[in-house]
Amino acid sequence: DYRMLLVMETPASRVIDAFGGTTAVARLVEAPVSTVHSWRKNGIPTSRLHHLRLASRAKRLKVDIDALLASTAAAPSEQVAA
């Protein structure tokens, strides 16, 4: 489905994929998989982005969240949920 393809190419999806996918992020932030999946379309809440930044440092992951969010021409409202 064309609409699903658009949803999966959001900056939030790039971040989620960099952490290993929806299930991996859900485990990391202790949230339901369905919640993390909705971030792909709606954006990742700011508080969860902070959590992901801390987790990436703690686990010594080389995930540059800011670069992933900026790596597309998407509107800021698509990058981070308000």
Give 4-60 pLDDT, tens digit per residue: 544 457 889 999 999 999 999 999 888 999 999 999 999 999 999 998 998 888 878
Classify strands 44-45 and 80-81 as parallel, antiparallel or unpaired. parallel
Beta bridge partners of 52: none
- For 11, half-sphere exposure in the C-beta direction (CA atoms, 13 angstrom radius) is 22
Tell me if the pTM is above 0.75: no
Classify residue 30 by burial, with Cβ atoms within 10 Å: 0-12, 13-18, 19+.
exposed
